[in-house]
Amino acid sequence: MDLFSGEVWAAWRQPLGMFFIEPSVSGGALVGTYSTHNHFNLTDFDQTSIGWSIRPRLAAGIHVALFDAGIEGSYRWGNLKFHNNVGGDLHEWYAGVFAGIAF
């Protein structure tokens, strides 16, 4: 299965001295493609489905001069439904680090 997503994101960065926290939420569309190939009767089964997802996120970091660095985590859930009772809920945890420079 291939999954493509487009999201709209709203965030608020709250400075705490040289540190900051940034809660946010995003939501949008999921587009999934599901393919199978049956070797016995040579039939292909290709489907595309459009669903939804929502993702709360929290980031925390430090800001020094022109540089930002920190950690972030999010959880996404959504839903895709194909034909023939194929599909279901999507659950995805994400954790990472980030760094940036402003100029």
Mind listing the pLDDT tens digit for each residue in 34-45?
877 666 665 666
Round to whole Å and give the CA distance between 51 and 4: 10
Residue 99: closest CA among 59, 50, 48, 54: 59
> Quick one: pLDDT at residue 45?
67
> Quick one: pLDDT at residue 40?
64
> Quick one: pLDDT at residue 20?
97
Residue 55: closest CA among 88, 94, 21, 87: 94
Is the separation of the CB atoms in 57 and 38 below 8 Å? Answer: no
| Burial of 61 (C-beta count, 10 Å sphere; 0-12/13-18/19+) | buried
> Quick one: pLDDT at residue 41?
60
Residue ranges, the chain, pLDDT below 50:
none
Q: What is the pTM of this model?
A: 0.74
How many domains does the chain fold into? Answer: 1
**Could you tell me the residue range of the domain that residue 74 belongs to?**
2-101
